[in-house]
Amino acid sequence: MLAIAWPLVVFQLLNVAYNVTDTIWLGHYSADAVGALSIAWPLIFLFISIAGGFNSAGAILVAQYTGADSEGSAGRVTGNQFIFVVGMAVVLGVVGYLLSDQLLALLPSSPDTAARIIPMANDYMEVFYLGLPFLFAFFVFSTVMRGYGDTRTPMYVMAGSVGLNVIIDPILIFGFAGNPLFALPGLDAIGATLAELTSFSGLGIEGAAIATVSTRGLGAVVGIGLLFFRGFGPDVRLEHLRPDLDVIRDLVDLGLPTTAEQSAAALGMITMTAMVSMFSPAVVAAYGLTNRIGTIVFLPSMGLGRATNTMVGQNLGAEKPDRAERATWLAAKVAVGILLIAAVVAFVFPKPIVGVFLSTGTEDAAITLAFAATYLQVRAFEFGFMGLFQVMLGAFRGAGNTRIAMVLSIIALWLGRVPLVYLLAVDPGPLGPLGIWIGFAAGDILGGIVATLWFTRGTWKEAVIGETDGTGGEPLTEDGPRPAPD
């Protein structure tokens, strides 16, 4: 469990580092730019979620075929997952680019937010939508490797991609003159020299999006090359790119519930953003900033949840359900323990934590900091429950019970978080911005409790791939091994 989980925690940390890097540098650029990120990301995630479920389905199938010693089937799943998901990402990217301004127009923004933040959010979204195929190609690589049990290789590729992003992100945002990167000790002379050699003054928030998309694209090229040409992961070959309707049907069957789950989450995020955007730009910025901090805090539980996904999938494929259950409870205990410690730290030291991500030189930044510190203290109460929730969802997905995971996520979001935020902060809204923070935390507490109770029923302990021939070949049908495609 730990061997699989720690690279996943680091991988998720690196994944979040893309957004955190944007947040830190754009925080130096302006508080409005941070607010633009908080508005843009739910709409971007809506498009990501539509295809994201099929990547999760690929990870489930690869894990269970690997546990059943069926390398040929795992390779065929990988090839079909690649052509299906990347093809879908191309369509989604074009649609998102064409509709980004219309989507933003649907948000009931305050006049200040509409004038100062929405145009910047649109600039960021248009670039990011065009980069979706690169993003999803990398997701194929990372999910296949996770299902196979190799979590270190994606971590190394991600580390190289993030390292490059950290360097080019501030350059594309600020240019060279006045770049805070070159204010660091030892870099000031380099910055001055580069500013003299070029008149490039930066692209602002568009530069942040271009940096993220381009470095993600490079990581995708490296990852797919390792899968298809360097022997990493399952036995996947170029002929596996030929569409196999049986495999695609399996991907769709397992992936649609997760897609529905993630789409419901994205719509929930958009609904939350719409409610938050009714408040001042400082509240909008605090909401986006603290959500990114929360994502960092939850990294251990995310990693353990995905490790649970792999452990449960491979053990059920190998017909060891009791071992799958023990792995789940182990991951739950570790996740809750770590996040309880993080909760105490966040509650006691909210302002120093939030201050790392935001320059405090203006009045707007000071107001944003105060809101964000309160938000972080309230969310500290949900940390342990969120860890429990992530692990339980990972167990259900690893078993192929993606519909149960979907139902649990919808309960936490649409029966907990969204209605509570509306009642406490919007209408009648007796608590104002504080109602946003309380409602957000309460939804995840509800999700953690319900998911754990459902898990104890034990109805998840069956694999979804059926019997295999036991030789590393193809899955069995009633008439013997399923034939390879012509």
Where do the domains of the chain lie? Answer: 2-462
In degrees rounded to 5, what are phi and psi of residue 68?
Answer: -90, 10
Task: Decide if 313 contacts 65 (C-beta within 8 A).
Answer: no
Q: Count the neighbouring beta carbons within 10 Å of the beta carbon of residue 324.
A: 24
Tell me the per-residue pLDDT of 331-342, one tens digit each, with 9 for 90 and over: 999 999 999 999
Average pLDDT, the chain: 83
SS3 state of residue 357 = coil
Low-confidence residues of the chain, pLDDT below 70? 70-72, 177-197, 199, 359-361, 463-486
Q: DSSP class of residue 200?
A: -
Report how far apart, in Å, the C-alpha atoms of 3 and of each of 65, 203, 303, 310, 376 are. Answer: 20, 41, 11, 12, 31
SS3 state of residue 475 = strand
3-state secondary structure 389-458: HHHHHHHHHHCCCHHHHHHHHHHHHHHHHHHHHHHHHHCCCCCCHHHHHHHHHHHHHHHHHHHHHHHCCC
Q: Going by C-beta distance under 8 Å and a sequence separation of 6 or more, which residues neighbour residue 457?
A: none
CA 343 to CA 354: how far, in whole Å? 14
CA 78, 65, 247 angle in degrees (round to 5)? 45
What's residue 479's pLDDT?
36
Look up the pTM and report it.
0.70
What's residue 481's pLDDT?
36
What's residue 184's pLDDT?
64
* Whether the bond into 428 is cis, omega within 30 of 0: yes
CA 375 to CA 12: how far, in whole Å? 23
What's residue 76's pLDDT?
86
User: Smallest Cα–Cα separation from 55: which of 75, 85, 17?
Assistant: 85
In degrees rounded to 5, what are phi and psi of residue 480?
Answer: 115, -165
CA 479 to CA 486: how far, in whole Å? 18
Tell me the per-residue pLDDT of 138-160, one tens digit each, with 9 for 90 and over: 989 988 888 888 889 999 999 99
What's residue 175's pLDDT?
79
Helix axis angle, 2-29 to 205-229, nearest 10°: 160
